[in-house]
Structures are given as C-alpha cells and as structure tokens.
Amino acid sequence: MILALSFILIARFAYIQIVNGSIYSRSAVDQRVRRVYLSDYRGTIYDRNMIPITERKSTQYAVVFPDLIKDKNKAISYLTRITGCDVLTLKKLLNGTAFTLAIENSNIKTQQNGIYIATVSERYSDKAIASHIIGYLNLYSHSGVYGIEKAYDNVLNSGGQIQYTIFLDGNLQAIKGLGSQYTITGVKRRSYGIKTTIDYHIQKIAEDVMDEHHINGAVVILDVKTGQILAMASRPNFVPSKISEYLSNSDGALVNKALTAYPLGSVFKTVVAAAALENNVITEKQTFYCTGNVKIDGISYPCYKNKAHGPVDMDKAFALSCNTTFIKIGERVGSSRIIDMAEKFGFGNKVINFSEENTGHIPQPKEVAGAGIGNLSIGQGTLTVTPLQVADMMATIANNGIRHIPIIVQGIVDDNGNLIRKENVNRSYRVISASTAKKLQQMLRDVVTDGTGIRADIREGSAGKTGTAETGKTGISHGWFAGYAPYSDPRYAVVVFAENGGEGGVRAAPVFKDIVENILKIK
C-alpha cells in the first residue's frame, strides 16, 4: 500500500516536472511580465512619392500598471498633471488592469514605478486627409471595412499587435537594461505597405479648395497620360480615428461621393457629341434652330434657362448648353449608339472595384424609347454616373481618345519602401478616333471661353463642360464641372461635383479653376 502510494506520488511529480513543466514555467514568467496594447501591427499606406498617408502622427502615452504602484495618491497627482485626466476617473482606472492615457503636458516625462512613457505612431491623425480613400477599421476586429483598408486588408493586416511590455525581477521591479520594451505579438502573417497613385500635395489642394468653397460633394483628379488617380476627395469629411462619432450620423460623411452615382445633366452631352461625330451622323458645324423648346411625343423639353438660341451649330449649342439642339442630335444619333458610346467611355461599370463603388446606371434602349431620348440626350432621366467615371471620360478625350483605365494602387511595398509586387497593370484601349477627340477638345475649350464655363478658364488655358442635373426636388439641382488643363498640353483631368449645389457653371466651375491654378503652381 505504502509502495503503491509512493509510486503514484513519484509519477505525479514526474508529470509536473516533465509533462506540465513548460506550463508552470510559462506561468512563472507571466507573473513577472506585464503587457498593454498600444496599436495594431499594420502596414502603412503611402502616396505615389512614398509620403505616408497613415502613421503621420506620433503621440506620447502614459502606460500604467496599477498592481505595480505602491503610492496611488502620488500616482494620481502625477497622472493628473501629465494627462489632464480627472481624479475620480483615475481612481477607478487604478483599481483595474493596465491602461494607457494620452499625455497632454509633454514637459513632464519623469517615469515612476508602474508608470511608463511610450511613443505610439497613430494610424490616423485628427487632421484627416484622403479619409475616403484610406477608409477605416472595425472597432472590435481591427480589420478594414472601407476604402483601401478593406480592399487590401489581407496585405496590410498582420493580425498582430504592438504592445508595451515590462520585465520584472523577483521584487516586481523593472529589470535594468531589459525593463521595458515594445513587443509585437500575435502575428499571423507578414504585413506590407501599399503605394497608391495619390499625390499627397494635390490631394491636399483638392480638399482645401473644397472646404474654402464649402462644397458638399466630390473632386476627382486624374493624370491624363496614365489614368492614375492623383486625388479623390469627398465632403462632408470624417476623421477615421474618431469613427464611432460618425457611425450613427446621417449627413453622408462616410459616403465616398466620388464613387457614388448621381444624375449627370449636360456633361452627358459630351457623350452624345462623341457618338454623333464618331458615327458621322452630323458635323460639328451643321446648323440647327433653337426655339427655346422642343416636343417629343407630347413631352416638352425647355432649353437652358428657357432661352431661344436661334440658329446654332453643334459646337455653339455645346458651349451654350442648348438642350433643344442636343435632343434633336440625340434623335438622329439614336439611343443605341449613345448608350454604346457611354459604355465605351466606362459608364455603367466599376472603375477601381472598391466594395463601396457604384456602377451607375446606363438606361437600355427600351427605357428611352419615344420621348425618353429627350432625357438621355441631356443627361437626365434614370441615367446616373460617378464623378470618377466622368473624370475618366475627360481624361480619355484629353488623351486624344485613348482610355487608360484609372487605378489608385501602384503596388505593395516592404518596410524599406521597396516595390515587391505591382498591382493593377495599366489597361488601355481606344474609345474614339483622334480626329473625334480633337473636335471634342475644341468644343470643350469653347465652353470655357465663350460659353457656360467661363468661370473655369485659367491663364494656361482649360477646357470642360458644365452640368446642372435635376434631382427630382423642386429648385434643387446638382452642379458639375468636368474638364482638363492645360488645354494645349493636357496633364490633369478634373471633375468637381457639388451635391445640391445649383448651376455647375456658377458653383463647380470656380472650384475647378482654383484647384487647377494651385496645382500648376507646385507642379
């Protein structure tokens, strides 16, 4: 009996020493290690010149381990001075687990036992730029749910965390030389950075000008020669670091309006003109007569501001945004050809394939039969497009008819900024002939020199088209200006969309002008 009991004890001791030894050893180590979460271990998002768009700001935090603090009253006094946190809140926090507090008074940095100072790179800054491009993270899973954060979550997200870790001796004092460290834990895969096509400085110009003009809507800027997206801004804006404040808002701050579909209005006359020229239905100098109104199957369509423009050719009608003439042109061209041209320009399809991107709607011929051709010819009815799609069309015309499908990500980079994989290899094809493109370029130029877009002209010369799109609400319309600059050597295709902004020539054209002039100052 005694022998059997001895055998059991020996076997149990062996189990503890051999089988379970690692568990007990780990437990002993854990008792002398303290950790607290600082941030996610996630790849950085950069602009085209490797300027960081995320991790632009560092913040100092007080890292507090309550069980290591002997004099809590002294700790409260110290923490109040450096963080500004009130006494009652600190008392509650000091009765719990490890926590961090942002430091407000950076002149006081003396560490105390149980209180340490850590510098943390913030994923987002309060001065949010390119928020709708970057997107944001889920508050709980820390995975991307919007923008590049979502589209490239599998590249950016390592699954790991950056923690502040302290190693203690037997007296629960920090071990000198090893005492506190930044450690990375829980990594499931290597994370990489994303190099975008965005130009940080052009993006900032676009956002600053939108704010100066109080524009609620979107701005998109493309590189004419490559199709790369240089800027894409939306308003109202949001601050990703304070995302919880916006989740229940209804002002549309979390909507990327550059990727949202809206009625286009007269900017669509560009598509109608392209279809007419490309199919040799009419010439740009063929004359029409505008009486101020035209009827199709009993439906009356008034001209812009109810004006009767008299005899006009397509060029002049385009510059003056003459509805009656373009409805007559649309009838001659036919809905099928117009729709085909719209699709060639990229309307009706996603461009960059973000989950939040709309395709817009290009009506089918049966939808615009009879009087419906009137709405289609002037960009009204069920037709909807995104500002990005419109910028894409303008870049194609400025590029002599060759479309470079826009991209927003150039590739994946390592921690040293080396490009390790290219993304979205440029895809190009001809949409319209060079001769048609040249005719459209002149028509677009005439809009800003002698037509509805004079507020968009610049010293270097610009070209574009205004649009005022009905919303279905009396007295409320969207304002558009879509164009490019400089006229003689196109570099930038720019679209300004002013949601509920009224006349495009009045509201959107001046924004285009200010944006382009500011870009040309720095480029």
pLDDT > 70: what percent of the chain? 93
For the segment 368-384, the average pLDDT, to the nearest whole number, is: 94
User: Does 29 score more than 70 pLDDT?
Assistant: no
Q: Of 352 and 244, which is predicted with more confidence?
A: 352
For the packed helices 387-398 and 269-278, what is the interaxial angle rounded to 10 degrees? 40
For the segment 48-71, the average pLDDT, to the nearest whole number, is: 93
The CATH H-level (homologous superfamily) assignment of domain 34-196 is Penicillin-binding protein 2a (Domain 2) (3.90.1310.10)
Count of CB atoms situated within 10 Å of the CB of 251: 10
Cα 269 from Cα 290, distance rounded (Å):
16
Cα 218 from Cα 161, distance rounded (Å):
35
User: Does 394 score more than 80 pLDDT?
Assistant: yes
pLDDT score at 425: 76
pLDDT score at 109: 62
State which H helix or E strand residue 165 sits in: strand 157-167
Band the pLDDT of 477: cuts 50, 70, 90: very high
pLDDT score at 21: 40
User: Does 406 score more than 60 pLDDT?
Assistant: yes
The two tokens of residue 313 are: 């050719």
Residue 96, amino acid: G
Q: Which residues contact 193 (CB under 8 A, 6 or more apart)?
A: 43, 44, 45, 46, 156, 412, 413, 414, 415, 417
Q: Tens of pLDDT along 286-303?
A: 999 999 999 999 899 998
For the segment 472-491, the average pLDDT, to the nearest whole number, is: 96
pLDDT score at 298: 87
Burial class (CB in 10 A: 0-12, 13-18, 19+), 459: exposed
User: Does 17 score more than 90 pLDDT?
Assistant: no
The single residue listed with the structure tokens 């005022």 is 468
pLDDT score at 179: 64
pLDDT score at 172: 76
Phi, psi torsion values for 73, nearest 5 degrees: -65, -40
Q: Tens of pLDDT along 123-178?
A: 998 888 999 999 999 988 889 999 999 999 999 999 999 999 988 887 777 777 66
Band the pLDDT of 31: cuts 50, 70, 90: low
Band the pLDDT of 2: cuts 50, 70, 90: very low
What residue segments make up the domains of the chain, in order of their start?
34-196, 200-522
Q: Of 203 and 104, which is predicted with more confidence?
A: 203
Task: Report whether 449 contacts 465 (CB < 8 A).
Answer: no
Using alpha carbons, select from 382, 391, 279 the residue that is nearest to residue 330: 279
For the segment 383-401, the average pLDDT, to the nearest whole number, is: 98
User: Does 225 score more than 70 pLDDT?
Assistant: yes
Instruction: Please say whether the structural domain 200-522 has been given the CATH code 3.40.710.10.
Output: yes
pLDDT score at 110: 66
Band the pLDDT of 312: cuts 50, 70, 90: very high
- pLDDT averaged over every residue in the chain: 90
DSSP string, 235-267: SS---GGGGGGTTT--SSTTS-GGGS-B--GGG
State which H helix or E strand residue 484 sits in: strand 477-485
DSSP string, 295-358: EETTEEEEPGGG---EEEEHHHHHHHT-HHHHHHHHHHH-HHHHHHHHHHHTTTS-SS--TT--
